[in-house]
Amino acid sequence: MIFKVHAKNTLYQGRVFALEQWNVTTPDGRETTYDLIAHPGAVTLLPLDDEGQVLFIRQHRLGAGGVLLELPAGTLEDGEDPSVCAGRELREETGMSADQLTLLGDFYMVPGYSTEHMWVYLATGLRPAPLAGDLDEFIEVEPIPLAQVWQMAAAGEIHDGKSLASLLLAQKHLNQGGPSNTSTSQ
């Protein structure tokens, strides 16, 4: 069930990703082309403060046509370790740094048309340490109690896929027995 790649052509190179066209042979021997977004990878953070609140952000997303509630996230720089990116993005987007970053897991965002691989970190021991954010980001930080986060996710009030996937990965680290139990033992 393996596709054999013959050639990759870059059709467009942007600031964050490239649009590539791949010439491949399918497992049944047919030759075809696939369009693929080549992405360097990214991180998502679940920042949990000492009061049991998760620091979400609100920002306008052109692709969604409006403002989304999301966990902080960001794109890896060339050759950057995901944990380094996580620390930087936490400071840029929330103004906080973490005493501890715990890798919760990783996943592919949309492997049908993108190479974007995302690492998810739980950030604890938060303390103020702001960094200037990206010039094109207009972000509002919104602390939400962990119990409310689970309710919002279950009610379909969080529409950002990376945030929902990150919450799923965080469940075993944040509760004993699922979203109805909101203890924050680690």
Q: Looking at the annotation, which residues are catalytic?
A: 137
Cβ-Cβ contacts under 8 Å for 160 (sequence gap 6 or more): 68, 69, 70, 71
Residue 125's nearest CA partner among 92, 89, 98 is 98
Three-state SS annotation for 108-140: ECCCCCECCEEEEEEEEEEEECCCCCCCCCCCE
Three-state SS annotation for 62-122: CCCCEEEEECCEEECCCCCCHHHHHHHHHHHHHCEEEEEEEEEEEEECCCCCECCEEEEEE
